[in-house]
Amino acid sequence: MQLYDKDLLSMQEVRELVEAAKEAQQELANMTQSQVDHIVRAIADAGVRNARRLAEMANEDTGFGKVEDKIIKNIFGSRGVYEYIKDMKTVGELERDDVKKVRTIAVPMGVVAGLIPSTNPTSTTLYKAEIAIKAGNAIVFSPHPTALRCILETVKVIRQAIAEAGGNENLVSCITIPTMEATDNLMHHRDVAMILATGGSAMVRAAYSSGTPAIGVGPGNGPAYLEKTCDLPLAVKRILDSKTFDNGTICASEQSIICDEDMAPAVQAEMEKQGAYFLDDAEREKLGKFILRANGTMNPEIVGRSVETIAKLAGLDKVPASARVLVAREDGVGRGHPYSNEKLGPILAFYTGRDYKDVCDKVCTILRYEGAGHTFSMHTKDDEMVDYFAKRVPASRIMVNTPSALGGIGGTTGLMPALTLGCGAVGGSATSENVGPMQLLNTRKVAYGLKELEEIRADLPDCSDGICRLRTSDVSEADVEDIVRKIMARLKDL
């Protein structure tokens, strides 16, 4: 009976939160760009001030990651995002084309539902609050239950900042009684205009099947290619920096590394030099049975944990205390090859290919199995190699010579700083972009007439004999040359 009452209370809370958010958003819609930006700046400043405290709470609540790295993520999700979006025009007229006589007006979506994961709970909350308000929206959060306390505290910090900046604190709110029914009710609420979903595959699928427009992201499972021209010590450093950052909880982090066969000994030697521990066959088998659950999904016990913790849980007793990542040789993809899956912890698969073409084929196979549309990284000095992979790999982000985790989210690259990374149609996502304010607003076009109907008719081709023919004046010189080339080619074949 208590569980039933909890469900009812949570659903009632959602209705009240959305109602208050809708009212606050209507107030925001009447504000100027400078007033909106003032609120966003206040959130960013508050996020920086509270970065350490919120990082400590997130670590305490979830057991994931490292406090010092979570501080960086909180500052990134607040100040880093703000610095990128602060000059974006998101209120009123965005563009005017005086030649075509078309104006583009920004239109807020309204109330956004923000689903928050346990891997990056406080930083994602700060980030989503900023981009939602920058686009003129209110946002209601559905928190992951294991990170409820730190998410609620982050929302409290944000609401106080909004109030002090002269805004309505109900622009940002959060479910305090997290249940599946509450989240479902939020996603289906008639006054929720958009769902911004970051989390597990099941939750993202639920968002897309709700009937409410949604932006969701699939799993990351990015391979990293060490191409033969790379600076090997620097490439390995970047990969290990990335994979160990917050114990691998960022979905853009490397999940496997791959190199040409003849480079394998040198790559392994350099990785071991920098703290990688290569598992022997018995250890590989033992850990492989631990990192996935029976249904083939990632074991949550490895998420965000240290090498020491994972080794202890999996019963690996030879892993040295100095090990930074665990590396397992892998030769296949899919079921029966557990290291080919996403592993949000300091664990890497190690692949080799005959040459760059074989490597590219294997990279594509890995991503199509899991991680399609997300992120791929490579380390090379050859721009032709970059072009070759960029044309073929099914990823929305191709990271070159940078730690993939930090590059993918826009920390070490010029991409939009984001903690929701679109995977495009190939990954089942509504966008391939790093999600920012421009994905959370609609545009309204104002178009002035340029032609009358008589002018359109006058431009039509001659169709008097039933076949429409272009007038000579409608055929360009390039068209004539193309026609001549085709005729000459046909004559040669006769």
Backbone Cα Rg of the chain: 26
Pairing state of beta strands 138-143 and 214-216? unpaired
- Name the range with the highest mean pLDDT among 51-65, 294-308, 466-480: 51-65
Q: Residue 464: pLDDT band by 50, 70, 90 thresholds?
A: confident
Q: What is the per-residue DSSP string for 202-257?
A: HHHHHHHTTSS-EEE------EEEE-TTS-HHHHHHHHHHHHHGGGG-STTS--EE
pTM for the full model? 0.91
Cβ-contact 48, 72 below 8 angstroms: no
pLDDT in tens, 379-405: 999 999 999 999 999 999 999 999 999
Least confident window among 67-71, 341-345, 471-475, 477-481? 471-475
Q: How confident is the model over 192-225, as pLDDT tens digits?
A: 999 999 877 777 888 888 999 999 887 899 999 9
**Of 244, 275, 269, 272, which Cα lies nearest the Cα of 344?**
244
- C-alpha–C-alpha distance, residues 362 and 260, integer Å: 11
Residue 414, token pair as written in the block = 């010029």
Question: How much is the pLDDT for 297?
Answer: 83
**pLDDT per position as a tens digit, 62-117:** 999 999 999 999 999 999 999 999 999 999 999 999 999 999 999 999 999 999 99
Q: Give kind and range of the element (H or E) at residue 118.
A: none
Q: In angstroms, rounded to a whole number, what is the distance separating the alpha carbons of residues 23 and 17?
A: 10
Q: What is the pLDDT of residue 471?
A: 67
- Spatial separation of the C-alpha atoms in residues 406 and 105, rounded to whole Å: 34
Structure-block tokens of residue 360 = 């590219």
pLDDT in tens, 133-151: 999 999 999 999 999 999 9
- Residue 293 phi/psi, 5-degree rounding, is -85, 175
Where do you find CATH 3.40.309.10 in the chain? 223-413
Characterize the bridge pairing of strands 441-447 and 102-108: antiparallel
pLDDT of 1 reads 44
One-letter amino acid of 182: A
Q: How high does pLDDT run on average in the chain?
A: 94
User: Could you say which DSSP state residue 415 is in?
Assistant: S
pLDDT band for position 481 (cuts 50, 70, 90)? confident
CATH 3.40.605.10 residue spans of the chain: 2-216+436-444
Six-digit token string for 333? 């993809």
What's the average model confidence in pLDDT over 290-315?
Answer: 92
Top-level class of domain 223-413: alpha beta
- Residue 63: CB partners within 8 Å, gap ≥ 6? 304, 305
Q: What share of the chain is helix, strand, coil (3-state, %, to 5)?
A: 50, 15, 35
The residue assigned the tokens 């622009």 is 171
pLDDT greater than 50 at residue 281: yes
Beta bridge partners of 442: 107
Question: What CATH fold (topology level) applies to the domain 2-216+436-444?
Answer: Aldehyde Dehydrogenase; Chain A, domain 1 (3.40.605)
Q: Residue 474 pLDDT > 70, yes or no?
A: no
111-115, 153-157, 288-292: least confidently modelled range: 288-292
Confidence of residue 2 (pLDDT cuts 50, 70, 90): low
Which residue numbers are catalytic?
Answer: 251
Task: Judge whether residue 300 has pLDDT over 70.
Answer: yes
Residue 172 in this model has a pLDDT that exceeds 60 = yes
CB 14 within 8 A of CB 189: yes
CA distance 152 to 155: 5
The pLDDT of 373-381, averaged and rounded, is 97
